[in-house]
Amino acid sequence: MDETLGSTRKATIMEEIDKTCFEIIDDNINMCIPWYFMETYARYEQHDPLISNDRYQRVIKLMLDNWDSIEHESKSLVDKDHVWAERFEGVYPKRVKLAVEQIRKVHSRGK
């Protein structure tokens, strides 16, 4: 039973992070870049996604559809092939790990 409650709580947190992610990206398409890095790190390095697969696919689609107009200081670290393949094969910006930890902390606080 505890496992069910844990998975239910984790799903609720993921829904909250999904919402936060798209509020930020809807406001500024350039924020696809850090969300791509954070989710790719969480998903493939930590094996613990921040956002749902549907939302991750939407981030990827938005990045690819808007690639030429996206401006972000970390964009040069990734190319379209990495995005298309849903992988990152470089060195993550140092702040990515800290940002992932902070997002997890904020969204699990007091619940």
Please give the average pLDDT of every successive group of 10 residues along the chain, which has 111 residues.
64 92 96 96 95 95 96 93 85 93 85 45
Please state the domain extents for the chain. 2-108
Whole-number pLDDT of residue 63: 95
Whole-number pLDDT of residue 34: 96
Whole-number pLDDT of residue 71: 97
Decide if 78 contacts 38 (C-beta within 8 A). no
Whole-number pLDDT of residue 111: 45
Whole-number pLDDT of residue 90: 86
Whole-number pLDDT of residue 5: 47
